[in-house]
């Protein structure tokens, strides 16, 4: 089951307003957002979050069974650019002159459509080099792990969601990085090991929950999934680190912490 929230959105509405609505849907917990004809649709797996979003945005909502929403979602999947990368679903053509990251998110998060994913991707080329040891905390579709592996890293990826396991396996094969990514199903805070770089694209609530109890060690941590401003200070406290570099898009921020 999941829940679709439809916000009416006239085609002549300014792009900045549409971006704001898209961000609001993500912030309120959408797992996917798509633009249909005159409608912006947020998909939620949490009914209470969907109801709140519908109320805040004066939108309608309805419930669908899982496959229906996901199949509809597929037909709207698009190509997304971030730094040297292009994130594309397997059924769209290779994009020339870019590092193609082929991602079928399946039931997991991380199609590249969310600004936070793209912000973290944009920071990777300056940090990851061949041989880097990377850990991807909350890997979802595996998009960040695969991008890092394509830059030559060896990656450990972890997620609590069994849907991520299936998505990561398929996506690693599609990108021919099976031997460079190790997936582990479980809680990110319990994963042990020494790494050069940690990646953590999660909401501030999750960062605050896992940050203080992370068992893994890494020199540099890249965080996404946070809003500019107050959440930047909170994420530094959660991980007990300082901001070394920062990238923003709309109201979202990704930070390199050391
Ligand atoms: N890395 C992807 C997905 C981010 S969404 C991207 O950047 O697009 C956040 C992911 O974190 C989800 O897949 C969710 O299942 C996972 N997650 C949430 N809490 C977690 C935890 N405690 N341990 C591991 N994974 C977790």
Domain holding 220: CATH number?
Answer: 3.40.50.150
**Which of residues 76, 94, 122 is at a domain's end?**
76
What digits encode the pLDDT tens for the residues 138-170? 999 999 999 999 999 999 999 999 889 999 999
**Which of residues 18, 52, 76 is at a domain's end?**
76
Q: Which range has highest mean pLDDT (14-18, 66-70, 79-83, 239-243)?
A: 239-243
Virtual torsion, Cα 78, 23, 158, 243, nearest 10 deg: 120
Give yes or no for residue 111 CB within 6 A of ligand 1. Answer: no
What digits encode the pLDDT tens for the residues 221-232? 999 999 999 999
First-residue to last-residue Cα distance in the chain: 40
Predicted confidence at residue 12, as pLDDT, reads 79
Q: What is the mean pLDDT of the chain?
A: 90
**Which of residues 15, 41, 76 is at a domain's end?**
76
What digits encode the pLDDT tens for the residues 193-226? 999 999 999 999 999 999 999 999 999 999 999 9
Indicate whether 46 and 115 sit together in one domain: no
Indicate whether 108 and 53 sit together in one domain: no
Which atom of ligand 1 lies nearest, measured to the CA of 136?
Answer: 1
Residue nearest ligand 1's atom 10 by CA:
138
Give yes or no for residue 170 CB within 6 A of ligand 1. Answer: no
Beta carbons of 123 and 247 less than 8 angstroms apart: yes
Indicate whether 101 and 193 sit together in one domain: yes
Residue nearest ligand 1's atom 26 by CA:
138
In a mutational test of the pocket of ligand 1, which residue from 29, 80, 138 has the highest number of ligand atoms less than 8 Å from its CB? 138
Indicate whether 102 and 6 sit together in one domain: no
Is 60 exceeded by the pLDDT of residue 68? no
What digits encode the pLDDT tens for the residues 1-52? 788 999 988 877 777 788 788 888 888 888 778 877 788 888 887 888 899 9
Indicate whether 120 and 98 sit together in one domain: yes
Domain count, the chain: 2
Indicate whether 65 and 141 sit together in one domain: no
Indicate whether 129 and 196 sit together in one domain: yes
Domain that holds residue 206: 80-257
Predicted confidence at residue 36, as pLDDT, reads 77
Cβ–Cβ contacts within 10 Å for residue 174, how many? Answer: 18
206: left (phi over 0), alpha (psi -120 to 50) or beta: alpha
pTM of the full structure? 0.79
- List CB contacts of 57: < 8 A, sequence separation 6 or more: 5, 7, 21, 24, 25
């Amino acid at each position: 089951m999941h829940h679709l929230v439809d916000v009416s959105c006239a085609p002549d509405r300014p792009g900045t307003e549409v971006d704001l609505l898209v961000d609001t849907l993500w912030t309120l917990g959408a797992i996917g957002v798509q633009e249909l004809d005159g409608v912006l649709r947020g998909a939620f797996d949490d009914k209470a979050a969907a109801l709140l979003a519908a109320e805040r945005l004066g939108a309608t909502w309805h419930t669908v069974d899982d496959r229906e929403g996901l199949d509809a979602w597929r037909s709207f999947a698009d190509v997304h650019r971030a730094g040297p990368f292009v994130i594309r679903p397997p059924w769209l053509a290779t994009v020339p002159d870019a590092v193609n990251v082929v991602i079928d998110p399946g039931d997991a998060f991380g199609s590249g459509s969310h600004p936070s994913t793209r912000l973290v991707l944009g920071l990777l080329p300056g940090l990851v080099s061949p041989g880097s040891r990377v850990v991807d905390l909350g890997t979802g579709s595996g998009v960040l792990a695969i991008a890092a592996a394509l830059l030559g890293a060896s990656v450990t990826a972890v997620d609590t969601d069994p849907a991520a396991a299936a998505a990561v396996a398929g996506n690693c094969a599609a990108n021919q990085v099976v031997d460079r990514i190790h997936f582990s199903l479980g809680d990110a805070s319990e994963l042990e090991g020494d790494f050069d770089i940690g990646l953590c694209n999660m909401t501030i609530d999750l960062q605050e929950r896992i940050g203080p109890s992370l068992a893994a060690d890494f020199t540099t941590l890249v965080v996404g999934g946070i809003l500019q401003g107050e959440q930047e200070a909170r994420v530094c406290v959660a991980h007990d680190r300082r901001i070394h570099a920062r990238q923003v898009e709309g109201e979202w921020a990704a930070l390199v912490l050391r």
